Amino acid sequence: MVRRMDPPAEGFAPLPELVKPMLAVLRDEVPPDDESYGFEFKWDGVRAVVYVLGGRPRVLSRNDRDVTGSYPELRAMAEALGSRQVVLDGEIVAFDADGRPSFGALQSRMHVTDSSSVRRLATQTPVTYLVFDVLHLDGRSLLDLPYVERREVLESLQLSGRSWQTPPWFRGGGDAVLDASKQQGLEGVIAKKLDSRYFPGRRSDCWLKVKNLRTQEVVIGGWKPGAGRRAGAIGSLLLGVPDDDGLTYVGHVGTGFTDKMLRDLEADLAPLARDESPFAHAVPREHARDARWVEPQIVGEVVFSEWTRDGRLRHPAWRGLRPDKAVAEVIRES
């Protein structure tokens, strides 16, 4: 039986139109006072806030894009909630054949809006919504509740179905949770202060993320033609990260692409062509030579080994596009 919450004494609060997701701060290791934190696995997918009203879902990405039509799997979850009014926060994930989250597999679902294509892909590459927070329930905002109490409310909803789950959390024991994430091939962990409220749209050190992989969101500022098998097509992308001066060049990436990724990128970048470099400072001559510049409007993600002393990505490999991220949200994760 799902527990119902009594409305607050001051009256009924309608379902909000928009609650921007709270963001975490990157750390190299779990906090030493880990008994003050709850630990969750970090899932390699796309963030989504889901608004359920009248048994219907409205799904918004991290940059407030309505992606409801791309993920029909969530309709069943909304129907299962019946008359409940709820705002949920979580991650949309696609799993590979070994049951591990696969960002590469999820790429095929992230750009599709055509209904027939969506239905076909939902069969070929189904997704699961992993719910880790509840922000509003039946006329009451839960933003001011401590994390541990919001988790209690979330678990009382018993959200478990074919395409939606409530993953576990752990009080303390951060090193053990991080080790478990490595053994399971997961991206890392999120540490959340037990007594912290939810800060919409803010990057707060009440939430800390510790990654097993080093990843960086990047903005595409141009590309260079390929050679050999890639002759006449994209050979590498020129990448930047916004800062106070504008778009700062952080390196180029030429690995990690499938042929389909390259074809899709060429189609996406063609209408964004421009004559001059969008980077705030000069790009090294060997990389600027023969470059095709584009308007810096497309966000992607790379995995890399480290930052060099001159602020470049060492050994980056392409992971995929991030249509759920806005250019203004991209920051250097150091």
Catalytic residue ranges: 42
Cα 131 from chain centroid (whole Å): 13
Q: Identify the CA nearest to 292 among candidates 307, 312, 272, 311.
A: 272
Overall size of the chain counted in residues: 334
Q: Which two tokens stand for residue 159?
A: 């959200």
Burial label for 21, CB within 10 Å (0-12, 13-18, 19+), is buried
Sorted by sequence, the CB contacts under 8 Å of residue 23 that are 6+ apart come out as: 201, 202, 203, 204, 207
Helix (H) / strand (E) element for 141: namely: strand 140-141
12 DSSP 8-state letter: P
Sorted by sequence, the CB contacts under 8 Å of residue 160 that are 6+ apart come out as: 166
Q: Which two tokens stand for residue 312?
A: 């470049």
Cβ atoms of residues 241 and 218 within 8 Å: yes
Q: Identify the CA nearest to 198 among candidates 138, 142, 155.
A: 142
CA dist 226 and 121 (Å) reads 31
CA dist 220 and 294 (Å) reads 8
CA dist 299 and 239 (Å) reads 9
Please, which residues bridge with residue 156 across strands? none
170 DSSP 8-state letter: E
